[in-house]
Structure 1
Amino acid sequence: MIQSASLALREAFSPAFRSILFKSVGLALLLLVLLGVLVQTLAVKLIDLESTTWDFVADLLSGAGVLIALFFLVGPVVSLVAGFFQDQIAAKVEAEHYPGDPPGKELPTGRSILLAMRFALLVLVVNIGALLLLLVPGVNLIAWWAANAYLLGREYFEFAAMRFLGEAQARNLRRERQGRVFFAGLFVAAFMAIPVLNLATPLVASAFMVHIFKGMNGSRRTA
């Protein structure tokens, strides 16, 4: 698993993936900026203390709150963005490292986007829960890491598996190997906690889970 994680990290930032990296990071940044502007605009409109000084303080505090909120929104945003690029990432990994295996099949566009939206909503709910636990030292970080490890491991693994299996079969395989998938998810969640680099989560996680799935099937990497 460590070797697969290391390989996925190298691949995500390699020249072969540069185009997808720029597009996925750019889209994630655009969505985060739009969300930040929206939240800040709503906060300014809702907060009116009828005092220039206190309004200024409130603006500063709300700005800090928006930054904290955006940290927790990175997960849902990159999860949504992943739906647009996962097939491209998986296809490149499969072609480069498993050329002897039959290539995976792309999910229908509509189904892929629907799954990405569902995934993003689940991650959003989990991160809101973690945000509410912010005042409990240590607990919120542990809860955030464990919950995201489960969700990220489940979704990215099932996507990699669904390129070769039906949805029900992919889900059953994930349940059979849930321990391994969860530990793989811990790596993805840890990566997503790193500011700035976490914008590349779709590339790293998608490539990583292709290797995990292939390893379960007994496929051998050529490099």
Structure 2
Amino acid sequence: MLNAVLTALRDIPTPPFRAVLWKSIGLTLALLAVVWIGTWAAADHFAAALPDGWRTAAEWLAGILLFVGLGFLVAPVTALFAGLYADEVAEVVERTRYSADRPGVSQPLMTGLVAALRFTGFVVLVNIAMLPLLFLPGVNVPIFLTVNAYLLGREYFEQVAMRFRPPAAARAFRSAHSGKVMLGGLTIALLLAVPIVNILTPLYATALMVHVVKLAERQERA
């Protein structure tokens, strides 16, 4: 597992990974800019109806909440767009690290888009539900890491596994190797918890799970 983690980290600075990262960041910034402009225009419209004394305070509060909210959305939105290029990342890893193995089969574009939307929405909702844990020091971090390790590990592993087997078989394969998947998911959750750096999460997670899938396959053949 350690070798899989280190190999995935070494792959991130390579040109193919950087190309996916820049495309994901560009789409993310464009979407967040649209959200910012639209939300700010709506807030300004409602603030205009307030008395002068309240209007300035309302605008400041709206700006702060909008800034924090967009900061929270950076990672999941980047994950959404990067998910559209997950097969591209997996193909690079397979081609450069496992050229002698049978290559995986990419999912149809719409299938990948629906899966990315579903997973991103689910992760956002789960993490919003866990926000009250911020007020429980000593408990919040372990719960955050455990929940996200399970969710992220499961999703990224199955996403890679489905390049080689049907969905039901991919889920069974993941269950049979749940320990490795959870451990890999924990490293993904740790990266996700680091601001700014967490935009690398989808690239790292996809590369890592290619290695984990290959490791699990070798162990089953042994």
Q: Name the structure 2 match of 1:96.
A: 96
Q: Name the structure 1 match of 2:27.
A: 27
Q: Name the structure 2 match of 1:213.
A: 213
Q: Name the structure 2 match of 1:10.
A: 10
Q: Name the structure 2 match of 1:190.
A: 190
Where structure 1 has 5 or more consecutive residues not aligned to the other structure, the ranges are none
Partner AA of 1:78 in structure 2? T
Q: TM-score, normalised by structure 1?
A: 0.87
Against the structure 1 CA distance between its residues 4 and 41, is the aligned structure 2 distance closer, same or farther, given a 3 Å change threshold?
Answer: farther
Deviations 1:114-148 (A, max 9, x none): 11111111112112113344444454444332222
Against the structure 1 CA distance between its residues 37 and 199, is the aligned structure 2 distance closer, same or farther, given a 3 Å change threshold?
Answer: farther
Q: Name the structure 1 match of 2:105.
A: 105
The farther-off stretch of 62-71 and 40-49 is 40-49
Contact between 1:81 and 1:202, CA under 8 Å: does it hold in 2? no
Q: Percent identity?
A: 40
Q: TM-score, normalised by structure 2?
A: 0.87
The farther-off stretch of 180-189 and 123-132 is 123-132
1:148 aligns with 2:148: yes
Contact between 1:75 and 1:123, CA under 8 Å: does it hold in 2? no
Partner AA of 1:207 in structure 2? A
How far 1:45 sits from its partner (Å)? 3.9
Against the structure 1 CA distance between its residues 85 and 54, is the aligned structure 2 distance closer, same or farther, given a 3 Å change threshold?
Answer: same
Deviations 1:16-48 (A, max 9, x none): 322212112222222233334444444444456
Q: Name the structure 1 match of 2:62.
A: 62
The farther-off stretch of 24-33 and 207-216 is 24-33
Runs of 4+ that moved beyond 6 A: none
The farther-off stretch of 91-100 and 200-209 is 200-209
Contact between 1:72 and 1:131, CA under 8 Å: does it hold in 2? no
Using the alignment, how far apart are the partners of 2:141 and 2:68 within structure 1? 14
Against the structure 1 CA distance between its residues 52 and 179, is the aligned structure 2 distance closer, same or farther, given a 3 Å change threshold?
Answer: farther
Using the alignment, how far apart are the partners of 1:13 and 1:166 within structure 2? 31
The farther-off stretch of 44-53 and 93-102 is 44-53
Against the structure 1 CA distance between its residues 147 and 69, is the aligned structure 2 distance closer, same or farther, given a 3 Å change threshold?
Answer: farther
Against the structure 1 CA distance between its residues 133 and 95, is the aligned structure 2 distance closer, same or farther, given a 3 Å change threshold?
Answer: same
Contact between 2:153 and 2:181, CA under 8 Å: does it hold in 1? yes
Against the structure 1 CA distance between its residues 185 and 39, is the aligned structure 2 distance closer, same or farther, given a 3 Å change threshold?
Answer: farther
Partner AA of 1:202 in structure 2? P
Contact between 1:25 and 1:200, CA under 8 Å: does it hold in 2? no
Q: Name the structure 1 match of 2:82.
A: 82
1:123 aligns with 2:123: yes
Q: Name the structure 1 match of 2:179.
A: 179
How far 1:69 sits from its partner (Å)? 2.1
Where structure 2 has 5 or more consecutive residues not aligned to the other structure, the ranges are none
Against the structure 1 CA distance between its residues 51 and 138, is the aligned structure 2 distance closer, same or farther, given a 3 Å change threshold?
Answer: farther
Using the alignment, how far apart are the partners of 2:212 and 2:87 within structure 1? 16
Q: Name the structure 2 match of 1:161.
A: 161
Count of aligned residue pairs for this structure pair: 219
